[in-house]
């Protein structure tokens, strides 16, 4: 009996067993995330809690306007220059131009990177902001927005958009409304807001909404992964509500800065 068992286990391999165990553990964790309705997040937040936020205007003295934002571990600094002369290569334009550039520092990610510009994020930031900026108020000139991610801790792009909106208001650029942005992640039946890097790595899908709360207009909506119709509606409404609350914080920050200036 025991000899027969030993014979059948002749192909036993410790690595295979460990791999199998790891797969089982991973599968169990995924099932736990997807189906359980109330598990605590790694940092102790509930499903609909944002991370603690810190925002400040005016950290870059050389820029016309600037803003710094921290959401948990994500740290972003945005500088706005202009309106200034467009480059000679550009054609004449009756309306102003908005240029956006998003870049990461080499030390922003856990694995040291090249510090490259992020073309996709730059295009998305431009799309989020151009609906809010009154381009007709500075014809023939250019406003440049530079966003630098000092530390990437998840939900980078929504924080970049909110911080850029604060920087534009600080620069005195005429805008229709402040643009705030929030993203949510989907885990099976559950929707969590303002995901961290670890949560983003595990998500089934995500939605990012850039929103002008006073005008109740969405300037950008980005969807990834699998979503059902009803869940999309719930997620977008959740984002809009969070954007309105974030906008109140931005307005407070701007009013404080305006009061301090006198």
State which residue, 156 or 177, has the beta carbon closest to another protein.
177
Of 181, 180, 166, the C-alpha closest to 78 is 166
Report the C-alpha gap between 117 and 104 in whole angstroms. 6
Q: Rounded to the nearest whole angstrom, what is the least distance from the CB of residue 68 to another protein in the complex? A: 17
State which residue, 81 or 121, has the beta carbon closest to another protein.
81
> Could you give the 3-state DSSP secondary structure of residue 130?
helix
Report the C-alpha gap between 59 and 39 in whole angstroms. 38
Q: Which of 134, 189, 225, 233 touches another protein by CB under 8 A? A: 134
Report the C-alpha gap between 55 and 87 in whole angstroms. 32
**Interface residues for another protein in 38-77 (CB under 8 A)?**
64-65
**Burial group, residue 235, by CB count within 10 angstroms (0-12, 13-18, 19+):** buried
Of 213, 60, 246, 248, the C-alpha closest to 145 is 60
Q: Which of 16, 17, 18, 90 touches another protein by CB under 8 A? A: 90
Q: Tell me if 149 contacts another protein by CB under 8 A.
A: no
Of 4-12, 29-37, 153-161, 208-216: span binding another protein (CB under 8 A): 208-216
Q: Rounded to the nearest whole angstrom, what is the least distance from the CB of residue 125 to another protein in the complex? A: 18
Q: Footprint of another protein on this chain (CB under 8 A)?
A: 64-65, 81-86, 88, 90-92, 134, 138-141, 169-178, 212-215, 250-251, 254-255, 257-259, 261-262
């Amino acid at each position: 009996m025991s000899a027969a068992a030993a014979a059948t286990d002749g192909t036993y391999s410790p690595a295979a067993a460990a791999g199998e165990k790891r797969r089982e553990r991973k599968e169990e964790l995924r099932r736990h995330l997807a189906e359980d309705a109330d598990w605590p997040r790694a940092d102790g937040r509930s499903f609909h809690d944002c991370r603690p936020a810190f925002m400040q205007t005016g950290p870059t003295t050389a820029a016309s306007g600037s803003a710094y934002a921290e959401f948990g571990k994500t740290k972003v600094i945005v500088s706005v220059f202009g309106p200034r002369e467009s480059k000679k290569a550009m054609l004449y334009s009756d309306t102003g131009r908005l240029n956006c550039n998003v870049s990461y520092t080499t030390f922003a990610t856990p694995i040291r990177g090249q510090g490259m510009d992020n073309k996709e994020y730059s295009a998305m930031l431009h799309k989020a902001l151009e609906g809010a900026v009154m381009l007709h108020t500075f014809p023939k000139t250019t406003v440049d927005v530079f966003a630098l991610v000092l530390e990437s801790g998840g939900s980078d792009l929504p924080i970049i958009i909110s911080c850029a909106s604060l920087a534009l208001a600080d620069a005195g650029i005429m805008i229709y409304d402040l643009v705030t942005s929030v993203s949510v992640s989907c885990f099976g039946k559950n929707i969590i807001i303002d995901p961290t890097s670890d949560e983003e790595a595990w998500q089934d899908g995500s939605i990012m909404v850039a929103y002008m709360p006073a005008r109740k207009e969405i300037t950008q909506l980005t969807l990834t992964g699998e979503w059902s119709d009803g869940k999309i509606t719930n997620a977008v409404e959740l984002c809009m509500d969070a954007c309105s609350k974030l906008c109140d914080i931005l307005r407070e920050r701007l009013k404080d800065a305006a009061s301090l200036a006198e």
